[in-house]
Amino acid sequence: MSNVIHDTVMHGSSAVNLARVADYDDALATPAAIAAISYTIERESADAAFSAVDGHANQPVDVAACLFAEMQNDSRWTCDSVGYNFRHLVPIDLADAFPTPGVYWVRYRFVPAAGQPFVIAFRLRAL
C-alpha cells in the first residue's frame, strides 16, 4: 500500500485531496471503522527540514463528511475505474494552507476504532 500521493496545487488556494484508503490489513477504511482523523500541513525546505503551516497542525477532520462507506467514482477521480473512499477539502477560511510556492506535505492520521493508527500523506507542489 502506497501512503504518499503526489499532486500539484496553486499557492494561496485550497486542495481537494482524494484517496482510496485502506488499513494495515488492506481492508478499505469506512466511517464505522475509523474513530478519528486529523491532518497537519508542513512546508518542506531545500534542506529537507519541515515547518508547520500556521493554522494547519493537528486539525480534526469530520470522519462522516470525508470518509465513505462506498467507493465514489466521479469526474474528480482520474486514477482508475474503482474510485476513492476519502475526500477532504483543505480549509483556508481561517489560515492559508499553501501560502507560497514550494513543496508541502499534508499528512492525515487515521485512528481506527480498533487497531493501530496509520498515516497517509499528500506531497503537493504549490505553484
What are the chain's domains? 4-126 (2.60.40)
Q: Find the farthest-apart pair of alpha carbons in the chain and give their distance in angstroms, rounded.
A: 41
Q: Is 33 helix (H, G, I), strand (E, B) or coil?
A: coil
In angstroms, the CA 71 to CA 116 distance is 23
Instruction: Give the three cell numbers for residue 96.
Output: 492559508
| 68-78 pLDDT per residue, tens | 999 999 888 98
In angstroms, the CA 120 to CA 109 distance is 7
Helices and strands in the chain, H and E counts:
1, 9
Q: Give the pLDDT confidence score for residue 1 in this predicted structure.
A: 45
Least confident of 46-60, 80-94, 97-111: 46-60
92 vs 23, residue with greater confidence: 92
Highest-scoring range by mean pLDDT, 5-9, 20-24, 63-67: 63-67
End-to-end CA distance of the chain: 28
Q: Give the pLDDT confidence score for residue 2 in this predicted structure.
A: 55
Average pLDDT of the residues in 74-84: 89
Q: What is the DSSP string of 49-103?
A: -EEEPTT-SSEEE-HHHHEEEEEE-STT--S-SS-EEEEEE---SSS-SS-SSEE
| 11-26 pLDDT per residue, tens | 988 999 999 998 888 8
Nearest to 69 by CA among 34, 103, 45: 34
28, pLDDT greater than 80: yes
Average pLDDT of the residues in 54-78: 93
In angstroms, the CA 64 to CA 61 distance is 9
